[in-house]
Amino acid sequence: MKTSEFLIGQLVTAKVRTGIYIGEIIERYDPRLVVKILAVIKHPEQGDLHHPYNPDVPMFHERRALAYTEKTTVLPKDVEHYEGEIPEYKESLLQAAQQELEKLDKLNRWTAKSLDNMKTLIESY
């Protein structure tokens, strides 16, 4: 989408790095849009963005969600129109963080089972 397709005051979802937010367009700063954060849909992933799922990087980043009413610039390709209720920020943040934690727990359990299977396979080889 082009910047011109968005109007100041419109509600949007915005992808910012690995997080997704509900926000309001407050400025058009071609080629970007300035979005004020109102709620969190997906919490950002932890670690190095350039080496996802690699714990052995020089700096493993702690990635916090953008704050309530924080302003961020976003390319139009990472923005979509939003229709619907805007959840309360703190509640949306905690729900998104819990979903990310559950995703990591599932990945951790998958990794443990995969390690066991690989050890068994190596013994049989």
**What value does the mean pLDDT of the chain take?**
95
Q: Which CATH number fits domain 3-124: 3.40.50.2000, 3.40.50.970, 2.30.30.430, 1.20.120.450?
A: 2.30.30.430
Record the tokens describing residue 5, joined without a space. Answer: 């397709």
User: Which of 95, 45, 44, 89 shows the shortest CA–CA distance to 69?
Assistant: 89
Domain boundaries, the chain: 3-124
- The pTM assigned to this predicted structure is 0.90
Q: Note the pLDDT tens digit of each residue in 33-88.
A: 999 999 999 999 999 989 988 999 999 999 999 999 999 999 999 999 999 999 99
Q: So what's the pLDDT on residue 4?
A: 72
